[in-house]
């Protein structure tokens, strides 16, 4: 979509996977594209229905957590589009980990036991649960890679006040507990995820998507304990399988590395995995709703008009 398409639009930002339109001073239109990124690089092929999957899971999860904290979402006028309140974002990702997996495991297996100022206990295996969830924040980079940061550094750098940090931490752990509970109802374990927050005045709002395969890692609960005991790989639903494929093809987003080619069959496999996660997480059958660019714009414009923008 080009840069200026909506009434009273004042800005446009193209993220790694989302197109974000600012409407006046109060609203954002966020369109979840079918682009896919890993290691902070956009991969060359779009994934069919990925945007719809992410948008609809996020909308469901925001509704299911609205009693914990306010969130930005106002409406979802199209399958891959959301309209929400414009917040001033904290330049942080609130990463919360219930299990030793992904970046935490790579850190741990290198011999380190401190991540973002948080101590990780000795004697854990990959995918083991932590005694209790840990928060390992990352800075939100404008370009390049996000970087780990401790709570002390966050406060020292003025990225959040002590009071705001306390609120962010409390919301993060409460949201994670709710996410785990929702996952458990559908035979899944929420292993780790991330949240983003912003402010309107003095009020902190949950922003962006939550509990989606782009922001979260899920294990299948059935057989989890047995696989851990035997040292077998865990069956998981997340974007990690895409990262693993890239690593196997010698790509980790580092300078000089070439993104491997994506076959049609591989693109279809990724799409099917996203749809599978949608159905497992929501307990509902995924209904593809491909809309043309014109239909999407029309629906969003109509919704904005109803808001008297």
- pLDDT value of residue 67: 98
Q: Tens of pLDDT along 140-149?
A: 766 556 799 9
Tokens of 196: 């983003």
- CA-CA distance, 72 to 303, in Å (whole number)? 16
Average pLDDT over residues 176-194: 96
Q: Tens of pLDDT along 252-268?
A: 989 899 999 999 999 99
Own/partner long-range contacts of 283-290 (Cβ < 8 Å, ≥24 apart): 283/185, 283/186, 286/49, 286/53, 288/49, 288/52, 289/52, 289/79, 290/49
Average pLDDT over residues 148-162: 97
**What is the rounded average pLDDT for all residues in the chain?**
94
- Per-residue pLDDT for 1 more than 50? no
- Nearest Cα neighbor of 142 from 308, 14, 278 is 14
pTM: 0.90
Angle at 40 between CA 242 and CA 86, to 5 degrees: 115
Residue 182 has phi, psi (to 5 degrees) of -65, -45
Which pLDDT band holds residue 115 (cuts at 50, 70, 90)?
very high
Average pLDDT over residues 87-102: 96
- Per-residue pLDDT for 50 more than 90? yes
Q: Where are the domains of the chain?
A: 89-238
Which pLDDT band holds residue 230 (cuts at 50, 70, 90)?
very high
- pLDDT value of residue 145: 66
The CATH number of the structural domain formed by 89-238 is 3.30.470.20
- CA-CA distance, 68 to 58, in Å (whole number)? 15
Average pLDDT over residues 87-105: 96
Answer yes or no: are the C-beta atoms of 54 and 212 closer than 8 Å: yes
């Amino acid at each position: 979509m080009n840069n200026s398409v909506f009434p009273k639009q004042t800005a446009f930002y193209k993220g790694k996977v989302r197109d974000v339109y600012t409407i006046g001073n109060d609203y954002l239109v966020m369109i979840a594209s079918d682009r896919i990124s890993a290691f902070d690089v956009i991969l060359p092929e779009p994934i069919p229905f990925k945007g719809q999957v992410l948008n609809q899971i996020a909308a469901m999860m925001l509704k299911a957590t609205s009693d914990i904290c306010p969130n930005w979402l106002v409406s979802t006028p199209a399958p891959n589009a959301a309209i929400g309140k414009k917040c001033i974002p904290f330049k942080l990702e609130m990463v919360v980990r219930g299990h030793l997996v992904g970046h935490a495991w790579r850190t741990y297996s290198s011999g380190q036991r401190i991540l973002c100022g948080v101590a990780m206990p000795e004697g854990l295996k990959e995918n083991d649960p932590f005694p209790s969830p840990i928060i390992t924040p990352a800075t939100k980079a404008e370009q390049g890679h996000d970087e780990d940061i401790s709570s002390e550094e966050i406060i020292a750098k003025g990225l959040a006040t002590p009071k705001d940090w306390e609120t962010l931490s409390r919301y993060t752990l409460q949201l994670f507990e709710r996410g785990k509970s929702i996952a458990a109802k559908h035979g899944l374990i929420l292993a780790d995820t991330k949240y983003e927050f912003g402010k309107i005045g003095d009020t902190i709002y949950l922003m962006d998507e939550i509990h989606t395969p782009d922001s979260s890692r899920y294990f299948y609960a059935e057989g989890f304990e047995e696989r851990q005991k035997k040292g077998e790989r865990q069956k998981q639903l997340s974007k990690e399988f895409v990262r693993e494929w890239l690593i196997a093809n010698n790509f980790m987003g580092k300078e000089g590395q070439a993104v491997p080619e994506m076959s049609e069959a591989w693109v279809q496999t990724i799409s099917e995995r996203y749809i599978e996660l949608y159905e497992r997480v929501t307990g509902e059958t995924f209904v593809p709703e491909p809309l043309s660019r014109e239909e999407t714009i029309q629906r969003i414009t109509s919704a904005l008009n109803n808001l008297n923008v």
